[in-house]
Amino acid sequence: MTDQTQSIAQGRSSTTRLAGVLAFLLAVFVLVPAFIALTGRWDFYYTLTSVALLSVAAAGVWLTFYIGRINIGQGAYALTGGYVSAILITQYGVSFWLTLPLAGLFCALVSVVIGLPILRLRGVYFAMVTLVLTEVARLTALALPVTNGAKGITSIPLPGELSIFGLTIIPDFATLANPKLAFYLMAAVLMVVTYLVLWRIVNSRLGHLCRSLQQNEELSASIGVNTAMLRVLAYAISSFFGGLAGAIFVAISQSIYPSSFVVQDSVNFMLYCFLGGLGYVFGPMLGTLLLYFGWDLLSVAKQYQLLIYSGALIALMLVLPNGVLSLLDRKGGRK
């Protein structure tokens, strides 16, 4: 392939990606609200908001996979982030909008403390340690007085007004005729920003270094890469996303309990990444959408729902081991 031909191919590829991004943004911010307004199915807003927030938490899990670690503990950080936000709002009167970054940063800090020793473990050993994190977080929430034990924290107010220099950026949700739309737009914006950040990380020098850890950590260390720092940094960013998603879930439900996020949620976050495709930045987003709606659609099977769901997942992973997005590579003629 000549340089000119290669340049044309790259230009077409960039144009295709841009068109895809614009089409996605159009669908999320224009077509979906228009469809719901026409049909009057306002309950769809809650469903799509949940999908958006779950995909944000799954994006963090994907980043951990990107450095060669299997993370089955994201539910712990979503639960922690939710409690941090709820406690700050109800007990200290902190604005919801300020609790979002605080919840994410607290989770990132906790992940650094936890990650420093366990990120030295590899493969299944790291996965098994992270598997208990969600249960540890649940038991901690049950035991601490500040979390109100099994009663949880309820009657959390809706997000208030966000203003800068007297200019209202986001109105008080309690004054809105349809706060479901506001929550959906907030979750959709967060999802778009999260995946743009994730894409930027992957395509930066930091991302290339993280990819080297996935391939061969000894080789990376031998050429001067600070592998320990990279592992901890990636894990901290992953946990930040989890805490952020958990904090917004609390605002939507206006309550949080120790059982709000359980081990099954942590497993699902991992499955979203597998189904969408571990080799694709936007894999967790697609995986979340397919699994969330797939489970709901199978509700007609009643007692066979879990059996069919599990069988379908196994079949998909056998047929498409690289995820659903690998179909694009096959269509393009790539192996």
Separation CA 52–CA 15 (nearest Å): 26
Q: What pLDDT, in 10s, does the model give residues 195-228?
A: 999 999 999 998 888 888 887 777 787 777 888 8
**pLDDT value of position 5:** 56
Q: What pLDDT, in 10s, does the model give residues 142-185?
A: 999 999 999 999 999 999 998 888 788 888 998 988 899 999 99
What does each C-alpha distance from 222 to 219, 227, 235 come to in angstroms? 5, 10, 22
Separation CA 58–CA 68 (nearest Å): 15
Residue with token string 């940063």? 105
Long-range contacts of 306-315 (CB under 8 A, 24+ apart): 313/271, 313/275
- Quickly count: other Cβ atoms within 10 Å of residue 335's Cβ: 5
State how beta strands 162-164 and 167-170 pair.
antiparallel
**pLDDT value of position 330:** 63
Separation CA 76–CA 132 (nearest Å): 9
| 46, pLDDT greater than 80 | yes
pLDDT band at 320 (very low <50, low <70, confident <90, very high): confident
**pLDDT value of position 335:** 43
pLDDT band at 14 (very low <50, low <70, confident <90, very high): low
| 133, pLDDT greater than 70 | yes
Q: Which amino acid is at 82?
A: G
Q: Taking all residues of the chain, what is their mean pLDDT, rounded to a whole number?
A: 88
Separation CA 132–CA 73 (nearest Å): 7
Which domains, ranges and CATH numbers included, belong to the chain?
43-331 (1.10.3470)
**pLDDT value of position 162:** 86
Of all residues in the chain, what percent carry a pLDDT higher than 70? 93
- Quickly count: other Cβ atoms within 10 Å of residue 9's Cβ: 11
| 93, pLDDT greater than 50 | yes
Contact 102, 109 (CB under 8 A): no
pTM for the whole structure: 0.91
